[in-house]
Structure formats: C-alpha cells, structure tokens
Amino acid sequence: MSNTELETLPISRAEFQRQEIFKNVAFESLAGYLLGCKTVYPAPGSLLIDPSQPQRRLYVLLEGLMEVQVESQGGTYKSDIHPGHCAGEMSIFENLKPSAKVYAKENCKVLIIEAETALAMLNASHDLCLNFLQIMSHRIRNSNRVVCEEEYHIRCIEENAKVDALTGLHNRRWLEEMYTRELKRSNAGDLHLSAFMVDIDHFKSINDNYGHLVGDQVLIAVAKGILQCLRPTDMPVRYGGEEFTIFLPGTNVENAKIVGERLRAFIEAMKIPLHKGKDTLSVTISVGFTERKKEDTVETIIKRADDALYHAKQSGRNRVCLNLGDGSMFLF
C-alpha cells in the first residue's frame, strides 16, 4: 500500500500498534480493511451504543474513556472501557442487539468498524482473533463476578427482609414460610409440635414511664432471654410489638410446660440496664401454649396459643397457660 493510501486511513500506524485489540497484528494485514472505517470524536455523555436502536458495529477506543451501563434487577452496573479496548463485539458475533448502553465518559476518539468489515478482519488475522478471545474472556469473567455479587446481595436483602431489625429474631414474613413448612412436616409424620405466644406484661406503661428507648432495650433483652431458654432447633419470632411466638418441633405438652415455666422464670429474674446510669428494670411475661392437632394450620395453632396467652393475662399475668383445644385452659 502506498504512502498516499496510508494517509487516508482513519488510524495511524502508531495508534494501531498502541491498541490492545491489535496487539501482535501486522498493520499492513488490516490496512486495506481500515480504509472503509471512520474515526469519530464523541463528547462526554454521547450515547454510542443503544439497545433500543441497535447497530452492529465495533467501537475501538483510541483516546479517552467510555462507560458501559447494564440494567439489572439489582440496579445499574457500570464499568469503564479504556483506550485500546472495544465495545460492541458481542452483537457482531451473536448477530443480536446490544445488551448494554455505552457512553463516552470523556472526550473520546473512537474508531468505528462495521460488522461485516470486523468479521472480514477476524477472518484475515489469526492474532486479531486471539486478541478478541482474550478480551471476551475477560468480559465473561467480569460478568460472572457481577452476577455472583448480585445474587449474593439479593440473598442478603431477602434474608434481611425476614429478620426483625431491633431484636435480631425472625419476623412474620419468615414465620409464614418456615412455620408452614414445619407444620406440614409435623402433620405428615404425626410428630409432636408445640406453639407458644409470649407477651411482655404492662409494656405500654414501660414506654409511657421510661420512653421508647428503654422500651426497645426491654424488647432486645427479652428476645435474648428467649433465645437462651430455647434449643437451636426451636423457632422464635417477633410476632409484633411486644409479642413473640415460638414453634418447638418435637415437643409434647409436658415438655412444653417445662420450657414455658423456665422461660417465664428466666425473664422475671433478669435485670435490664436502663440506657442511662446504673439503674435496672425488671419485667415479666405471660405465656400461652398449645400442642399441634391433626390438620392444624399455622393460623389455627397460633390462635389457640394466643387464646391461652389472653387467659394468662386475664388471670393476673406472669403466668403460663395451656390450651388443650377443647375449651380447657390450665394455668401454671
């Protein structure tokens, strides 16, 4: 190729040799293909690739900085394209519209190669193919990392949505899923299962007399006390306000009574420090419990435990009450 022809190329030999995509590629082997290409100078914010208006082109960044924006469930993921690299290669190979937007992040100098020309260049240069494969391999690795991070964050969000932020216990959203699963398992195997409803006595007066900060401290302390009295397999939940519910898998009425009394006595003996000074506060709880009956639902077993709780509170509070489900209530 003559010097006159070389002068009409959109990219100089020196620029060509600086590009990562053209590493180890002979300039003369692709110069003829470059004659039909063009160089553009987009300003910052210019949209170069738009999935809604797809054009199968390869954009080689000669100078400046480009930004890729991918919309996903977790939000918008952004990454930079530096000089020597390119954008648009996936749509050329797959013959599909682009999956991301690409903007000029700074003043740029960009070599545009139409899809047919890019494919012809790849067919003409083995080294160019290797460079493309290396760039695409890097993109795939990066995409896999982004997917893994997004899945992790989604799992964290889902898990956090099932945990009560104040006490650290699970909340009613978790209850709906896990209690239903445990009850189905117990019903299917005809296994023992006891359910508790627990309420902090006179909690409103604690908030009224000491303030909501102390009320929060009481909730946290009671939640910790509940956990200390249970097995790892038991399932405590902050039901709402000052109420807690607990499923005790594999637990019959006799053992549930022992757990209920241990829980009541443990909370009564606690000394809860106030948020200022060395003063402490003592509280009591009322406990209602029942055992699973055939074909129980989560709603029916919790309702019986809640009726027992109401009876315990009506009978003076700081009591444990068993609801047998046949209208019989037993106070302990």
Q: Which amino acids are annotated catalytic? A: 242
Helix axes 253-269, 212-228, angle to 10 degrees: 140
The tokens describing 279, both together, are 């003063």
Alpha carbon of 286 to those of 10, 196, 320: distances in Å?
Answer: 83, 10, 6
Residues near 232 by Cβ (< 8 Å), separated by ≥ 6?
Answer: none
Query: Is the CB of residue 34 less than 8 Å from the CB of residue 61?
Result: no
Q: Rounded to an integer, what distance in angstroms lies between the CA atom of residue 265 and that of residue 286?
A: 11
The closest alpha carbon to 44, from 18, 71, 65, 20, belongs to 65
The amino acid occupying position 104 is A
Q: What is the DSSP string of 10-40?
A: SS-HHHHHH-GGGTT--HHHHHHHHTT-EEE
- With residue 310 as reference, give the H or E element that holds it: helix 298-314
Residue type, 98: P
Residues in contact with 267: Cβ distance below 8 Å, sequence separation at least 6, in sequence order: 222, 225, 226, 283, 284, 285
